[in-house]
Amino acid sequence: MPSRVASCACGAIQLTCEGEPVRVSVCHCLDCQRRTGSAFGAQARFPADAVAVRGEPHTFDRVGDSGGTIHFRFCPKCGSTTHWEVDRLPGFVVVALGAFADRGFPAPTVAIYETRSHGWLSLAGVEHMD
């Protein structure tokens, strides 16, 4: 079973994720664009019991488009968002894909909120959810 380590930019927060992610996706919602400073957010979902967190992240809570609360965890030193939990997905931890800094990480298979994506953006090989 593979073990992968994700971390913030300064290394103060580290996550060890055991096994394969249950889903790798990208999100084009406007909040993910603002949160990442990029055209979309990319994330990997793991069972909560497969993720060990080292360090003391801070939390930013927000209500998503679906009405549920998302609890974003970020490094208090460098500000990197490392992971989050979604009230409507109990038992899972979502890890920012870039935090793995691994070119060999499995590619996203799902894209959501594509109606909000940038017109110049095209992703091949993903299930298109809207």
With contact defined as beta carbons under 8 Å apart, do 1 and 19 qualify?
Answer: yes
Stated pTM of the model: 0.89
The CATH classification number of 3-128 equals 2.170.150.70
Confidence of residue 37 (pLDDT cuts 50, 70, 90): confident
Compute how many other C-beta atoms are within 10 angstroms of the C-beta atom of residue 120.
Answer: 6
With contact defined as beta carbons under 8 Å apart, do 52 and 16 qualify?
Answer: yes
Q: In what order do the strands lie in the sheet with 3-7?
A: 3-7, 14-18, 51-54
Among candidate residues 112, 63, 17, the one with its CA nearest the CA of residue 126: 112
Tell me which residue has tokens 């957010």: 41
Q: What is the pLDDT of residue 15?
A: 98
Task: Domain ranges for the chain, please list them.
Answer: 3-128
Confidence of residue 10 (pLDDT cuts 50, 70, 90): very high
Say which amino acid occupies 62.
R
For residues 24-50, give the mean pLDDT: 89
**pLDDT one-digit tens code per residue, 110-119:** 887 666 666 6
**pLDDT one-digit tens code per residue, 44-90:** 999 999 999 999 999 999 998 778 899 999 999 999 999 999 999 99
